Structure 1
Amino acid sequence: MTIVVFGSINMDLVVRTPRLPAPGETLTGHSFFTAPGGKGANQAVACARLDAPTRMVGRVGDDLFGEQLRHSLRSFGVQDDGVLTTPGPSGVALIAVDDAAENTIVIVPGANGAVGSEDMPRLERALDGARALLLQLETPLATVAAAARAGRARGATVILDPAPALPLPDELYALADILTPNESEATTLTGIPVHDEQSAAAAARALRARGARTVIIKLGARGALAADANGVRFWPAFTVTAVDTVAAGDAFNGGLAVALSEGRPFEEAIRWGLAAGALSVTKHGAQPSMPDRAELLALSGVRG
């Protein structure tokens, strides 16, 4: 039941602020810390923390951050032999988190921008026997599409997180077994303002019409809505006290992928995703906030 993650590996530079600054405004923050992140690496850690054998394929720079990022992956149990060290800086994300747990994020790709066709052989080796392939959009789009083709060719379930949102080629929709945008990403992709269940359902149907087999729209504190060949369904979120929403979507994708890789029913996999996302917002940071299996099972009420 191996899961492969192909995508970004960043160092997060995080500042806590009373509120998010307006354009041109200077604020005094509460605190600053660094934490390993990147949507790809976050999702890999989310899977590994839930006891799934997980392989990461991507790139880090030959700077100090690069070695720290590798060490973090290994410390959480992620296999990093598919990670290439490339000359230059590692990717970084500049993150502001306010007292309401909302955030803004600016990404500088660094080594993630160098991911290309040379990385495909490592991905193909990693996909040997894999149940699922997790993808995001923090590496070059052409490479994401090539990775999706490789995953599909090897029978892995291709789960695409279209973040950060940008126009996608029709081929990539068709290659996605599961597409998992949040509200803002679904709005960007479809032009439909997503703000409630009804608008989310409309956006999900529009994305399915483009070729995605299943669309799950992550609705934050409200829950998640899924559309597939069986229709549209909604699941409410678990109630928790949020302190930091960074990487909640990555936790959701990890929980979803692990449940599906274990052969669990789709409805149960959604609950795993929601439980993982809910638990992640109760802790600070990206990778450090990913829940372990015992925590997830306790919240979700699902047997291990």
Structure 2
Amino acid sequence: MRQPRVVVLGSANMDLVATAPVLPLPGETVLGSDFVMLPGGKGANQAIAAARAGGAAVLLGAVGSDSFGVTLTARLAASGVDTSRLRVVYGSSGVALVSVNAAGENTIVVVPGANAAFTGLSPEEIAVVCAADVLVAQLEIPLDTVLAAAGAARRAGVPVVLNAAPAMRLPAELTELVDLLVVNEREAAAICGHGREDPGALLATVPRALLTAGPAGAWYAARGEPVRHIPPVPVESVDTTGAGDAFTGALAVAWAQGRDLVDAAHWAAAAGAASARRLGASVAMPDRAEIDALYRPPVG
């Protein structure tokens, strides 16, 4: 099977991860049990996920001139991601403060750093987008940059996958460029006011959508087709921080390889489940063999 070229446009952060029995309430201090620094950011995570799932992944984004930037770039390259177009800007890299409880639930605060300076795509970056089999983007970088890349992809006939995170109402100028929208319930509610009770409501803005709901699985909706439920893959969850990114990266690879989107979503669900079995985001992204081991093909 041909290795698809997946271009990911998005953020790269250093994740500062603390684990504790419970997540603190506002004004509360709890004693933690562990602390690690792990490369993350939705763009970096999804690029690593795509590379490990069998794609030729390229990350377009920015890191800072600090030590975090050096570490992020090295870890991406070591994971098989092409970093030749990753910008280095003066100042700090993006940072995410992550708290994880004993059940694997998390809270995250992101400070964008260099990601906020990722503006004005160069002709070389536009050329990378236009040579892709699929473009994957999120919303942790400036919206104008996402619009520029999605517009270039549309003109070149490259499918655009938008993981609309963090949650926000999407402008029509962006949704009209999106071929597949991937959102969780909170993000879906921000876009259309509905969650899993009406995943088809997302089709008012995009032609295809996948709504993920953690242990409840996911729903695939496409104009002119019945909504399909993607059942969850049962695993013992340790940390769900990067599960959505594993899902999106693997989904992009499967779709770019020519699998229909229902089957691709089942395979992506296996990737998300596999990642939840380990602590961290980018370091938890599963390889193709792990995904295949958990994959359950669609029935009917």
Match of 2:221 in 1: 227
Match of 2:85 among 75, 82, 90: 82
Deviation string 1:3-45 (CA, Å, 9 cap, x unpaired) is: 1000100000000011110000011111110000000000000
Match of 1:267 in 2: 262
Q: Note if contact 1:57-1:122 (Cα within 8 Å) is conserved in structure 2.
A: no
Match of 2:273 among 251, 271, 278: 278
Alignment of 1:1-304 (within 5 A): 1-117=4-120, 119-192=121-194, 194=195, 197=196, 199=197, 202=198, 204-210=199-205, 212-229=206-223, 230-301=225-296
Q: Number of matched residues? A: 293
Q: Note if contact 1:240-1:278 (Cα within 8 Å) is conserved in structure 2.
A: yes
Which aligned runs of 4 or more in structure 1 are off by greater than 4 angstroms? none
State the AA in 2 paired with 1:273. A
Deviation at residue 301 of structure 1 after TM alignment: 4.7
Aligned equivalents of 1:92, 1:21: Cα separation in 2: 20
SS of equivalent to 1:104: strand
Deviation at residue 208 of structure 1 after TM alignment: 1.2
Deviation at residue 75 of structure 1 after TM alignment: 0.3
Deviation at residue 79 of structure 1 after TM alignment: 0.3
Deviation at residue 155 of structure 1 after TM alignment: 1.4
Q: Note if contact 2:220-2:262 (Cα within 8 Å) is conserved in structure 1.
A: no
| Uncovered stretches (5+) of structure 1, i.e. residues with no partner | none
SS of equivalent to 2:272: helix
SS of equivalent to 1:23: coil
State the AA in 1 paired with 2:13. N
**With structure 2 as the length reference, what TM-score do the two structures score?**
0.95
Deviation at residue 268 of structure 1 after TM alignment: 1.4
SS of equivalent to 1:237: coil
Deviation at residue 146 of structure 1 after TM alignment: 1.3
Deviation at residue 128 of structure 1 after TM alignment: 4.1
Q: What's the C-alpha RMSD, in Å, of the aligned pairs?
A: 1.1
Deviation at residue 132 of structure 1 after TM alignment: 0.4
Aligned equivalents of 1:180, 1:170: Cα separation in 2: 16
| Uncovered stretches (5+) of structure 2, i.e. residues with no partner | none
State the AA in 2 paired with 1:166. M
Q: Note if contact 1:66-1:85 (Cα within 8 Å) is conserved in structure 2.
A: yes
Q: Note if contact 2:238-2:276 (Cα within 8 Å) is conserved in structure 1.
A: yes
Q: Note if contact 2:266-2:296 (Cα within 8 Å) is conserved in structure 1.
A: no
Deviation string 1:39-87 (CA, Å, 9 cap, x unpaired) is: 0000000000012111110000000000000001100110001101000
Aligned equivalents of 1:122, 1:301: Cα separation in 2: 40
Q: Note if contact 1:183-1:219 (Cα within 8 Å) is conserved in structure 2.
A: yes
State the AA in 1 paired with 2:102. D
**With structure 1 as the length reference, what TM-score do the two structures score?**
0.94
Q: Note if contact 2:130-2:158 (Cα within 8 Å) is conserved in structure 1.
A: no
Deviation at residue 153 of structure 1 after TM alignment: 1.4
